[in-house]
Amino acid sequence: MMLTESIASRNIDSDIRRLVDQPYVEGKGLSCACPSVPSTIFQEDPIEPKTGIKFPAFLEDDSSPSAAVLVGIGFKGMRVMRVKNLNLYAFGLYMQPTSIREKLGSKYGSFPTDKLMENPDFYSDLLRENLDMRVRLVVNYNGLSVGAVRDVFEKSLGLRLQKINPNTDFHCLKTFGSHFTEDIAIPSGTKIDFCQTADGKLITEIDGKQIGAVQSKDLCKAFFDMYIGDSPVSLEAKKVVAQNVAGLIGRR
């Protein structure tokens, strides 16, 4: 690699590390675009339009009652030196319909979808109910390093943990970050999954291989707060998630 290219790569990596928890800003190229989708679930595997990355509508056999279904997609981007936009990764959020109905159906089953999309209590309950949820990130930018991913997550999660529970055991965050060792390569196309179990465990997988797990309900809440909480990675994706979850609750 030429010296100028090496310097540019290091500068971009540094910029990525500073890109922490920035929500959608209209016209600033820091957000996600989500296609119009049915109010229930995606009827076929959708493609995130900014990156061209396809996400499976189901993570398992769709006839299984425990199948996790896709409820929203988006992307994370950044602007470099006000000149170039980098689409770092696309993401998809998955939930289990049976778990959603059991825990939230009685409270929100009669709510119109448009009301749920603007209801802050609904998003709080999604985070509070310890639902089986998964976020899948698919790397789009080939210069993204695992160290940059670790640093961004650690800083963002630290801020959100402080907000959620100032008295939490922050050791969980150190354990989470320790899973992202420098020997892990994440070229374009790499799938990074973060799975929350009903008992409050956050499991991290890279291309289907588990690299670590942390038992912490606060960490789980902080992680998914990045996508469906306050100041999310993408406000548009958050609303699409609410739209689709509302459809799942109403489905019989």
Mean pLDDT of the chain: 83
Summarised one tens digit per residue, pLDDT across range 224-251 is: 999 999 999 999 999 999 999 988 887 5
**Stretch 194-214: mean pLDDT:** 96
pLDDT of residue 14: 58
* Residue 10 counted as domain residue: no
Q: Which of 83-87, 147-151, 195-199 has the lowest mean pLDDT?
A: 83-87
* Residue 91 counted as domain residue: yes
C-alpha–C-alpha distance, residues 40 and 202, integer Å: 26
Confidence of residue 117 (pLDDT cuts 50, 70, 90): confident
C-alpha–C-alpha distance, residues 224 and 230, integer Å: 10
pLDDT of residue 133: 94
- Half-sphere exposure (Cβ direction) of 16: Cα atoms closer than 13 Å: 25
* Residue 128 counted as domain residue: yes
* Residue 178 counted as domain residue: yes
**Stretch 170-182: mean pLDDT:** 96
pLDDT of residue 145: 92
pLDDT of residue 83: 60
Is there a contact between 118 and 239 (Cβ–Cβ < 8 Å)? no
Structural domain range at position 107: 47-250
- Is the confidence at residue 36, as pLDDT, over 80? no
Highest mean pLDDT among 56-70, 189-203, 236-250: 189-203
* Residue 217 counted as domain residue: yes
**Stretch 128-134: mean pLDDT:** 91
pLDDT of residue 24: 37
Task: Tally Cβ neighbours within 10 Å of residue 38.
Answer: 10
Question: Residue 141: which CATH number?
Answer: 3.50.70.10
Number of domains in the chain: 1
C-alpha–C-alpha distance, residues 73 and 48, integer Å: 7
Q: Which residues pair with 210 in a beta bridge?
A: 205
* Ranges assigned E (strand) in 99-228: 133-139, 191-196, 201-206, 209-215
* Residue 38 counted as domain residue: no
- Contacts (Cβ under 8 Å, ≥6 apart) of 159: 20, 21
Summarised one tens digit per residue, pLDDT across range 1-33 is: 433 333 345 555 655 555 544 443 333 333 334
- Half-sphere exposure (Cβ direction) of 198: Cα atoms closer than 13 Å: 8
For residues 65 and 125, which has the higher predicted lDDT (pLDDT)?
125
**Stretch 143-171: mean pLDDT:** 94
pTM, full prediction: 0.83
Burial string for 70-108 (b: 16+ CB within 10 Å, else e) reads bbbbbbbbbeeeeeeebbbbbbbbbbbbebbbebbbeeb
